[in-house]
A = this chain, B = another copy of it.
Amino acid sequence: MASHEGAIGVNPNQYEEPMMKIPTMHIPGVSDTTDDTRTPFPLDQWYVAALGKELTDKPLARTLLCNKVVMFRDGEGKAFALEDRCCHRALPLSSGTVEACGIRCGYHGMLYNGQGQCLEVPGQDMVPPRAKVKKYHVEEKDSIIWIWFGRDEAAAPSCAPPDYTVHSSGDYIWDGSAFHYEAPYQLIHDNLLDLSHLGYVHLKTIGGDAKTHMNAEMKVKAEAKSVRVVRHMLNSAPPPTYTAAYPFKGLIDRWQEIEFYPSHLRIWTGAVDAGSEDINNPSRGGFHMRGFHGVTPETESTAHYIWTIATNPESNEEEVLKKVVDQTAMTFDEDKVVIEDQYANMLSFGEAPLVSIHVDAGANRARRIIDTLRTVAN
């Protein structure tokens, strides 16, 4: 399996994750702190601010990495992001209205362009030069609105936002949504990198048999800023979402390929009829679900989860897409309950030791990456 050379094979009989210490997450009220040398989030990178479809003719207010931001499109459809506060009386600009050349405050009508410069003070000929608000760098690419957060607020982005051609290649149909979690962003990383929870949490949708999940063959490979986890479950029973969306004949060979990046995860899951093709073949057939999972901190203790799911129906495209999207949303609703209960419980118990098990290998590597990127002098 050439693509996994150098991967760490995780032995399910090994009773603890082989590190000395579970890498610490930044969980406000529970563990870790920020100081002069460490930020609560990795900086100097793009984050997912919104799905393109969320920006209509109304302003969109969203707090991102503790910044209250208003997003809107100008008359030509270009996306902008400003500090969500009028510099006159501090009303959120998102309470105002979008015009062709910018956004107008809903209190006394001050008008700002996409650079944050005030263009008009109604009833006053001159615009005070100090009348401006902070602007953020945003770019729309593959139907995703990306926003840059740098250590130096004045500096321009040092790279382009990531590509995500699943949205734009035409090979898939897709849709998605923005969820909000009352939990720190790293708990979502943990959840997505350890899909063994499917057999306990998601029995109604993509679960399948718990033992199959816990005993799946797992390969983990970490790079400086990414982690890849591949799990294969051969000869297993198809879960409800799979049988609803695809005409499987019986047992299936099922794969889960998870790629973690500091700003998002890509999860490619699917299955073929058991024994019918090699699921290591990149151009294999069968049923495919490709998930995009933007995990953007809202604050240190809350997060946005901005996701899409893409699939490749053989027929009844709209009907299959609707099924896949609805069942994915149900699945994430279940995760939301678990993750929010988990964080509330961590807050109740405070800092208390936890035990790692073998399925944590990928998640622990991702924690280490975030840990490194949060260090200011990296």
A residues with CB within 8 A of B: 12-16, 68, 84-85, 87-92, 95, 105-110, 121-128, 130-131, 190, 194, 196-197, 199-201, 210-211, 213-216, 338, 341-342, 345-346, 348-349, 352-359
Q: A210-B109, A342-B90, A349-B90 are in contact. Are A123 and B354 (CB under 8 A)?
A: no
Closest to A83 in B: B349
Top 10 A-B pairs, shortest CB-CB distance = A123-B214, A15-B126, A122-B214, A13-B125, A91-B342, A90-B346, A87-B355, A109-B200, A131-B355, A16-B128
Q: A90-B342, A90-B349, A342-B89 are in contact. Are A196 and B13 (CB under 8 A)?
A: no
Out of B95, B109, B213, name the residue touching A214 (CB < 8 Å): B109
Q: A108-B194, A108-B197 are in contact. Are A88 and B357 (CB under 8 A)?
A: yes
Within the complex, the shortest CB–CB distance from A195 to chain B, in Å, comes to 10
- In the bound complex, residues from chain B placing their C-beta under 8 Å from that of A12 are 123-125
Closest to A342 in B: B91
Closest to A13 in B: B125
- Could you tell me if A357 and B124 are in contact, using CB atoms closer than 8 angstroms? yes
- Could you tell me if A68 and B345 are in contact, using CB atoms closer than 8 angstroms? yes
Given A87-B355, A124-B357, A128-B355, 19 more A-B residue pairs with CB atoms under 8 Å apart are A14-B124, A16-B128, A85-B349, A87-B354, A88-B355, A88-B357, A89-B354, A92-B341, A107-B197, A107-B200, A107-B201, A107-B342, A108-B194, A109-B214, A121-B357, A122-B196, A123-B196, A123-B215, A124-B214
- Could you tell me if A68 and B342 are in contact, using CB atoms closer than 8 angstroms? no
Closest to A334 in B: B106
26 pairs from A and B in contact (CB 8 Å cutoff): A12-B123, A13-B125, A15-B124, A15-B126, A15-B128, A16-B128, A68-B345, A68-B348, A68-B349, A85-B348, A85-B349, A88-B357, A90-B345, A90-B346, A90-B349, A106-B200, A106-B338, A107-B197, A108-B214, A109-B200, A109-B210, A109-B214, A122-B210, A123-B196, A123-B216, A128-B355
Within the complex, the shortest CB–CB distance from A73 to chain B, in Å, comes to 21
- In the bound complex, residues from chain B placing their C-beta under 8 Å from that of A87 are 353-355
- In the bound complex, residues from chain B placing their C-beta under 8 Å from that of A108 are 194, 196-197, 200, 214, 357, 359
Closest to A215 in B: B123
- In the complex, A117 Cα to B127 Cα: how many Å? 62
- In the complex, A168 Cα to B214 Cα: how many Å? 47
- In the complex, A211 Cα to B16 Cα: how many Å? 71
- Could you tell me if B123 and A201 are in contact, using CB atoms closer than 8 angstroms? no
- In the complex, A127 Cα to B190 Cα: how many Å? 21
Closest to A95 in B: B341
- Could you tell me if A345 and B123 are in contact, using CB atoms closer than 8 angstroms? no
